[in-house]
Amino acid sequence: MAEEFQERTEQATPKRKEDARKKGKVAKSYDFNSALVILASTGVLYFCCNFMYQKIANLTKFVLSNLHTIEITPKSVAEYGFFIFSFLMMNLFPLLIFLTVIGVGANIAQTGYIFTLEPLKFDFERLNPINGIKKIFLSRRSLFELGKGFFKIGVIGFTIYLTLRSMVDDIVVLIDSDLGKISSFMVSSVFSLMLKTGIVYFLIAVFDFAFQKWEYERELRMTRQEVKEEIKELEGDPQIKARIRRKQAEIARRRMMQNVPKSDVVITNPTHIAIALKYDSEKMNAPKVVAKGMNLIAEKIKEIAMKHKIPIVEDKPLAHALYKMVDVDEEIPPQLYKAVAKVLAYVYQLKKKSYSAVR
């Protein structure tokens, strides 16, 4: 319950952002997509208007010049309608594809590629009228969208007004002009109007995207407790990890102690360090450390060695060198061969004397 009253002062972690992204929650401005589509349409109009005009003019000329040969029947109307529809689709379909690519590209530019069905899942919270009223009238986003709508209508409307006002004198002159000049004026006027509107709309969209980004980051903020819980989830609870490490160390220690009775010699310093060595000339390239430890562990190694009658040899320099340089289950390095060989020779000599005494 205390978490509900904590302030969300921490920036969202990468995991929280990724989880939100998987649910389809990303910072995005729909106005940005619309503005780019308007500007792209303006560019197409500028570069392709002559081509499109020529195509439509040829179609109009063909239809008007053949009106006297057209027989009006249900079948012919359907055929001519299909012909005109096919003609328009062949010439406008590439434009529609281009604008679709622009719209999709603008969307990906804002959010990157994302595919999720999470927003389509049924959620009872969406049916809660109280939450709906809060989102409509009380949320910062709703108030911003309302203000942005009025601002957008005002600015774009004023831009259109100024553009049309500047054309009034030219429109009056066109009264006595031919059809070609009127058509040319209309196309250039539409282009000018779309360009200015698109630029203004694009500037509004950039501002809107910045707000959506800021609002998105604000909504994803976390409390300090949430950050701590996430770190625990990702890295594991420190207390649990410590218990696991202790358990692993205990298991390793127990396994190490089981190897002491199999060793050939235990080298000590003599009180603080004990290292148990094993050497099998048929299986090993060099003697191997099967157990080592300090203080209490060293005492335990020596206790097990005495119980199983494993020779214990005191050699302080060698004991320190083995403890620092060699880990358990590792063979000794070449620089220690000579010192260890002397110890093993001594041990084998003791075993030989003991065996002879028994016989």
105-162 pLDDT tens trace: 888 878 777 666 665 565 555 555 665 555 555 566 677 778 888 888 888 888 888 8
Question: Do 139 and 277 belong together in one domain?
Answer: no
Handedness of CA 63, 67, 70, 72 (dihedral sign): positive
The per-residue pLDDT for range 261-303, each reduced to its tens digit, is: 888 888 888 778 899 988 888 888 888 888 888 888 888 888 9
Question: Do 205 and 278 belong together in one domain?
Answer: no
Give CA–CA dist 158/207, Å, rounded: 19
User: Quick one: pLDDT at residue 123?
Assistant: 58
User: Quick one: pLDDT at residue 234?
Assistant: 65
- Vertex 274 angle, CA 269 and 279, to 5°: 115
Question: Do 119 and 260 belong together in one domain?
Answer: no
Q: Mind giving me the DSSP string for 89-111?
A: HHHHHHHHHHHHHHHHHHHHHHH
Mean pLDDT of the 306-324 span: 88
What does pTM read for this prediction?
Answer: 0.50
Residue 272 identity: H
Q: Is the pLDDT of residue 214 over 60?
A: yes
Give CA–CA dist 272/323, Å, rounded: 11
Helix 14-22 × helix 224-235 angle, to 10°: 90
Closest of 325, 335, 343, 216 to residue 278, by C-alpha: 343
Residue with tokens 């389809």: 24
Question: Do 22 and 62 belong together in one domain?
Answer: yes
Domain extent, residue 348, equals 252-358
Residue 230 falls within a domain, yes or no?
A: no
Judged by DSSP in three states, 315 sits in: coil
Give CA–CA dist 336/330, Å, rounded: 13
Give CA–CA dist 356/359, Å, rounded: 5
- Which residues are within 8 A (CB) of 171 and not within 5 positions of it... i.e. 6 or more apart? 185
In this structure, what CATH number is given to the domain that contains residue 261?
A: 3.40.1690.10
The per-residue pLDDT for range 329-350, each reduced to its tens digit, is: 888 888 888 888 888 888 888 7
Residue 227 falls within a domain, yes or no?
A: no
